[in-house]
C-alpha cells in the first residue's frame, strides 16, 4: 500500500500516552546518554506507565543483553523487566536461526548481548574464521572491541560466509558527544572485503519491527526515537506512528530537510511530550502557524516570526519546509529561521 507524503506533523487531542497502548522507546539519546538519564525522562516515563501505557525499550545497540539493560533502567528510576527490552541482537539472531540449522557455528563479532542472543536461538558462537562458521554476526561491541575481530570477519566474508549485521548506525550518542557506532565497524569489514554487503536486522529494517511486535504484542504502538534514519524510518516502514524527541542525534536542521520516510508523526522537545496532546499546525495562504509561531517558505528560504514553545516553532517550520519540498528534501535556506527560533 502506498503511503501518503507527510507535509505536516500530526494532531492528537489526547496525550500520546493515552492515544497509544505501547511506547516503543529507543534508549540512546531518548532515555539516557552516556549511561545517565536525560532530563525529564524518568518522571515522564513513570507518569506514562502509571497512566496505563506499556513501555517497551527497543534499541539498535547490541552490546548489552536485555537483563543488563533492564537493570540499568531500574537503577535510573524506570523499573523494567528483561522482557520489556528488545535489541537488534535478538532480531539478527532470529534472522540467522531461521536460515541455519540448529547448532550451527556463527562467527561472533560483537559483545555479550549478541553472544547471548545467538545462544538463545540454538546457535554456537565461535571466535575464528578458521572454526568453519556458517555465518558471521556483527554487532556493536563497545569502544574496546579489538581490531583483530574485524580481521576475522573479513577473512570469513571473503571466503563466502554469509554476513549479518545487527544494525548499521554510523554513530551512537555518548556522555561526551557522538561516537562511532556499529555502522562504522561494518564499513571497515565492507572495505576489507571489496564491497561485500551484510544482511541487516536492526532499525529501520523489517526484522527489527517484526521482533518488536512479536515480543510486545502491541496493537497501537508509538515509536519514540531521536534518529530519523533508524527510528523514524523504521516506523514509516512498519506503518506505525512516531514521536521524534530532540534530545539525541537529530537536530532541527536535519528535521527540516527530511525526506518523506524520515518525517515523524509528532515532534517533541523531550519525553515530556509523551504526556501531552499534540497541537494542530494551521495552514493559510502559504503560512503555517502553531502555538505563537508562524512560518513561511518563500523565495528559497524559511522564515519564522512570533514566539512561544520551541517545539511549536519547529512544528510550524517543518510544515512550511515539508510542504514546499513535497516528495523531496527541502533545499532552501534555513539559517534565518533557525536563528529566530534560537532567540
Is the pLDDT confidence value at 97 over 60? Answer: yes
Q: Which strand ranges, in their side-by-side order, compose the sheet holding 241-245?
A: 85-87, 54-59, 22-25, 221-225, 241-245, 266-268
For cell 576475522, name the residue. 152
pTM of the model: 0.88
Query: What pLDDT sits at residue 133?
Result: 98
Half-sphere exposure of 93 (CA within 13 A, CB side): 27
CA distance linking residue 279 with residue 163, whole number of Å = 45
Could you give the C-alpha distances from 280 to 12, 276, 315, in angstroms and in order?
A: 8, 13, 9
What's the pLDDT at 139? 96
The active-site residue, picked from 21, 28, 130, 273, is 28
pLDDT, tens only, 77-93 = 998 999 999 999 999 99
Residue with cell 534472522: 95
Average pLDDT, the chain: 94
What is the rounded CA–CA span in Å between residue 160 and residue 143?
28
Residue 2 scores a pLDDT above 50: no
Annotation says 26 is catalytic:
yes
Write the CA distances from 93 to 57, 63, 199, 233, integer angstroms: 18, 13, 12, 22
pLDDT above 70: residue 275: yes
Residue 338 confidence class, pLDDT cut points 50, 70, 90:
confident
pLDDT of residue 173: 73
pLDDT of 185-234, one tens digit each?
999 999 999 999 999 999 999 999 899 999 999 999 999 999 999 899 99
The stretch 95-105 carries a mean pLDDT of 97
Choice among 21, 26, 144, 169 that is catalytic: 26
CA separation for the pair 338, 343 (Å, rounded): 9
pLDDT above 50 (res 1): no
* The three three-digit cell numbers of residue 171, written as one number: 554513530
Strand partners, 266: 243
Task: Walk me through the domains of the chain, giving residue ranges and CATH numbers.
Answer: 89-200 (3.40.50.1000), 282-342 (no CATH)
Contact 274, 23 (CB under 8 A): yes
Report the pLDDT averaged over residues 307-319.
Answer: 95
Which are the contacts of 54, defined by CB distance < 8 A and separation ≥ 6? 21, 22, 23, 216, 218
pLDDT score recorded for residue 178? 82
Q: Is the pLDDT score of 35 beyond 90? A: no
Amino acid at each position: 500500500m502506498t503511503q501518503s507524503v507527510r507535509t505536516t506533523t500530526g494532531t492528537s487531542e489526547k496525550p500520546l500516552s493515552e492515544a497509544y497502548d505501547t511506547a516503543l522507546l529507543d534508549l540512546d539519546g531518548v532515555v539516557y546518554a552516556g549511561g545517565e538519564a536525560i532530563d525529564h525522562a524518568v518522571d515522564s516515563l513513570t507518569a506514562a506507565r502509571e497512566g496505563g501505557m506499556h513501555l517497551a525499550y527497543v534499541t539498535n545497540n547490541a552490546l548489552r543483553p536485555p537483563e543488563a539493560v533492564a537493570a540499568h533502567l531500574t537503577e535510573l528510576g524506570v523499573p523494567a523487566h528483561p522482557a520489556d527490552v528488545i535489541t537488534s541482537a535478538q532480531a539478527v539472531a532470529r534472522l540467522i536461526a531461521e536460515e541455519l540449522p540448529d547448532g550451527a557455528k556463527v562467527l561472533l563479532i560483537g559483545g555479550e548481548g549478541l553472544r547471548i542472543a545467538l545462544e538463545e536461538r540454538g546457535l554456537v558462537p565461535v571466535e575464528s574464521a578458521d572454526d568453519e562458521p556458517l555465518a558471521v554476526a556483527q554487532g556493536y561491541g563497545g569502544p574496546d572491541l579489538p581490531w583483530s575481530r574485524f580481521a576475522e570477519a573479513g577473512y570469513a566474508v571473503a571466503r563466502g560466509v554469509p554476513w549479518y549485521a545487527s544494525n548499521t548506525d554510523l554513530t551512537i550518542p555518548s556522555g561526551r558527544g557522538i561516537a562511532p557506532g556499529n555502522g562504522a565497524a561494518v564499513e571497515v569489514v565492507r572495505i576489507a572485503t571489496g564491497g561485500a554487503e551484510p544482511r541487516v536486522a536492526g532499525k529501520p529494517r523489517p526484522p527489527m519491527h517484526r521482533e518488536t511486535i512479536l515480543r510486545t504484542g502491541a496493537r497501537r504502538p508509538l515509536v519514540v526515537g531521536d534518529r530519523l534514519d533508524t527510528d523514524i524510518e523504521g516506523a514509516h516502514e512498519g506503518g506505525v506512528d512516531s514521536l521524534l524527541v530532540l534530545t539525541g542525534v537529530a537536530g532541527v536542521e536535519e528535521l527540516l530537510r527530511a525526506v518523506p520516510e524520515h518525517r515523524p508523526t509528532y515532534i517533541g522537545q523531550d519525553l515530556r511530550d509523551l504526556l501531552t496532546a499534540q497541537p494542530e499546525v494551521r495552514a493559510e495562504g502559504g503560512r503555517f502557524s502553531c502555538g505563537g509561531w508562524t512560518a513561511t517558505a518563500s523565495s528559497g528560504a524559511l522564515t519564522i516570526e512570533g514566539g512561544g514553545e520551541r517545539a511549536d516553532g519547529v512544528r510550524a517550520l517543518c510544515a512550511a519546509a515539508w510542504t514546499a519540498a513535497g516528495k523531496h528534501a527541502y533545499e532552501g535556506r534555513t539559517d534565518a529561521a533557525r536563528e529566530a527560533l534560537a532567540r
